[in-house]
Amino acid sequence: MLFSAILTGLVLGGTYALVAMGLTLQYGVARIMNLAYGDIIIAASFGAYVLFTALGINPLLGMLIVIPAGFALSWLIYAVMLQPLARRSRDRGRLEGDSILATFGLLFVIQGVALVLFGSGFMSYSFLAVPVDILGTTVAANRLLAFVLAVVFGLGLWLVLTRTRFGTVIRAVAANPASAPLVGINVDSVARFAFAIGGALAAAGGVVVSMYLTFSATMGVIFTMKALIVVIMGGVGNLMGALAAGLILGLVETLVASFIDPGLTLAATYLIFLTVLVVRPQGLFGRAAR
């Protein structure tokens, strides 16, 4: 019982970590607090759903379509909507305020489109729902796949950011956007690119979510919230922190749901969030005074 709860928690946590990595890129590099992030995730889930049920395309192959679409959509959102705001605002506080408000509006637009297209019902499809035996506990194969995918994407992103020249450029902008132009970095285009990669990760997360969870058009807010909590717990811009915090959040949620009461998972999430905010506002793994 405990072992199976931990396993479920790890799977859920892997998805949270994957999703939060995208948000930490968007907020850490592009300085946009994107409240519509969860709705991009849900949009990708719907995309995978349509591809699978209408066209019979396996979600793994579907990723090849959905992830570039998420990248393109986010690129467009940043170029059309957020870049003018970033240019207009002189200080960071103003940009944060404006971007929160603008993406709050975007949240309702995306959610509204999803409601018109798919209605408000819960959706799911059955993909790889075969039991797999791990150390005496049975887990559905799609959950296992979800965890593996989260690990692969997370590791890939981490390698790109730490081992390549382009990753170094991104980290330079995250560390100090004012000095980055001095070494010949085009902050505008790097920010746009980082925001788009964040959107691609959200899309990947959405496909993963759709493989093993039921989802609905209005669930985006919950994913945004959880991704935000993971980002803050892990420390803004800290990928490994997001990974650890995502796993912790997934474990806590599953343990609370299976041993206390499923109705209190969100309350538990909030309790962790508040504790982290009050005790370590720089994040569990962040350094003080970034």
Partner 1 sequence: MMKLVFALAALAALALVPAFAGPYPLGLGIGILGYGVLATAWAMFSGPTRYISLATVAFFGLGAYTVAVLADMLPYPLVLLVAAFVGLVVALIVGLATLRLAGIYFVIFTFGLTELVRQLVTYYEVNVTRTLGRYVFLPLGPEHIYWQLLALLAATLAIAFWVSRARIGLALRVIGDDPVVASHLGIRITRTKLTLFSISCVIMTLAGAIQAPRWTYIEPSIVFNPTTSFLVVIMALLGGPNRLFGPLLGAVPLFLLFEWLSANFPNHYSIILGLLFIAIVFVLPNGVLAAGDSLWSRLTRREARP
Out of 20, 32, 48, 85, point to the residue binding partner 1 (CB under 8 A).
85
In this structure, what DSSP letter does residue 218 have? G
| Residue 260 in the binding site for partner 1 (CB under 8 A) | no
Out of 4, 98, 144, 284, point to the residue binding partner 1 (CB under 8 A).
98
**Rounded Cα–Cα distance for residues 30 and 194 (Å):** 7
**Rounded Cα–Cα distance for residues 40 and 53 (Å):** 20
Q: 45 to 74, contacts with partner 1 by CB under 8 A? A: none
- Of 235, 209, 231, 236, whose CA–CA distance to 220 is shortest? 209
Number of residues that bind partner 1 (CB under 8 A): 41
Out of 83, 111, 142, 216, point to the residue binding partner 1 (CB under 8 A).
111
| Residue 290 in the binding site for partner 1 (CB under 8 A) | no
| Residue 120 in the binding site for partner 1 (CB under 8 A) | no
**Rounded Cα–Cα distance for residues 287 and 290 (Å):** 7
**Rounded Cα–Cα distance for residues 48 and 62 (Å):** 6
Q: 176 to 215, contacts with partner 1 by CB under 8 A? A: none
| Residue 245 in the binding site for partner 1 (CB under 8 A) | no
Q: Which residue's CB is nearer to partner 1, number 110 or number 201?
A: 110
| Residue 96 in the binding site for partner 1 (CB under 8 A) | yes
Q: What are phi and psi of 133, to 5 degrees?
A: -95, 120
Q: Smallest gap, in angstroms, from Cβ of residue 40 to partner 1?
A: 14
DSSP string, 225-255: HHHHHHHHHH-TT-HHHHHHHHHHHHHHHHH
**Rounded Cα–Cα distance for residues 5 and 65 (Å):** 33
- Based on its alpha-carbon atoms, the radius of gyration of the chain, rounded to whole angstroms, reads 19
Out of 76, 166, 261, 290, point to the residue binding partner 1 (CB under 8 A).
261
Q: Which residue's CB is nearer to partner 1, number 68 or number 281?
A: 281
Q: For residue 230, what are the CA distances in angstroms to 48, 150, 211?
A: 25, 15, 22
Task: Give the interface segment with partner 1, choosing from 15-23, 51-59, 98-106, 239-247 (CB under 8 A).
Answer: 98-106
Q: Which runs of E-coded beta strand occur in 145-249?
A: none
Task: Give the interface segment with partner 1, choosing from 58-66, 93-101, 164-172, 179-187 (CB under 8 A).
Answer: 93-101
Task: Give the interface segment with partner 1, choosing from 11-19, 57-65, 176-184, 220-228 (CB under 8 A).
Answer: 220-228
Long-range Cβ pairs for the range 176-180 (8 Å, 24+)? 177/31
Contact positions vs partner 1 (CB under 8 A)? 33, 35, 81, 84-85, 93, 96-98, 100-102, 104-113, 115-116, 221-222, 224-225, 228, 232, 261, 263-264, 266-267, 270, 273-274, 277-278, 281
